[in-house]
Amino acid sequence: DDTQHEVIIELAPINLMPHSVHTFLSQVSEGYWTRGTPAFVMNPGHVLQACPHPCLETKAMGGSYPGDPYVDMRHAGLDSVSFQEYHPEYPHEKYTIGFHSGPEFYINLMNNTLDHGPKQAILKEALGDDEEVDETALEPDPCFGKIIKGFEVIDRISEEGITRGDLPYESKETKEDGDDEVELSDALLIQPVRIVSMSIILENDDDSSTSEDVRDEL
């Protein structure tokens, strides 16, 4: 199916999630989500993950791309967020957008607040005050936007996209990396959904901040 569909993402106000919004807008404006083969590539069930070019060619995705696929983004300082910011007005609810670290982003397919949001209270209650907890495990993922148009597109990808986990065991392939075999994730979509282009739409509103939407044409 070569039909293109539109998804519009409304980003969080810049004063709430400044670092994540700036990082994502910079990725878009520099063309990392338009040139090459950016795509939705993974569906583990709770999120739909997208990655920029050339992730489809990497060994983790079944390709043969050598080395670091995001070296250009790394040189530009756009391969990841520098810190995990979070604001309670943007929890990880269904159809919201998050970074784990980057440069990939994901769309929450369900309410993932317990898994991707602040975990301090949850772990404290579960483990008690006497248990030591890795502080990095407590950091929430940034949630920096939400889908405002194209819900049916996201639903169709998540519901109709076949993953490696849906295949019979004997149909699954591994990729050889020299003398080693690379085990591919069961969450990989057999047919990734290409992101054809992504552009920034600016809309002035009545607030002091500017509402900035990012349009994906799939």
- HEC profile of the chain: CCCCCEEEEEECCCCCCHHHHHHHHHHHHCCCCCCCCCEEEECCCCEEEEECCCHHHEHHHCCCECCCCCHHHHHCCCCCCCCCCCCCCCCCCCCEEEECCCCCEEEECCCCHHHHCCCHHHHHHHHCCCCCCCHHHHCCCCEEEEEEECHHHHHHHHHHCCEHHHCCHHHCCCEEECCEEECCCCCEEEEEEECCEEEEEEECCCCCCCEEEEEEEC
In this predicted structure, what is the pLDDT of residue 22? 96
Residue 209 pLDDT greater than 90, yes or no: no
Checking if the pLDDT of 180 tops 90, the result is no
The answer to whether residue 207 scores a pLDDT higher than 90 is no
Task: Specify the pLDDT at position 177.
Answer: 52
What pLDDT, on a 0 to 100 scale, did the predictor assign at position 64? 77
Please write the tens of the pLDDT for every residue from 108-137.
Answer: 999 999 889 886 555 555 666 666 655 555
Q: What is the pLDDT of residues 13-32, one digit of tens each?
A: 999 999 999 999 999 999 99
Name the band, by pLDDT with cuts 50, 70 and 90, for residue 152.
very high
Structure confidence at residue 123 (pLDDT): 59
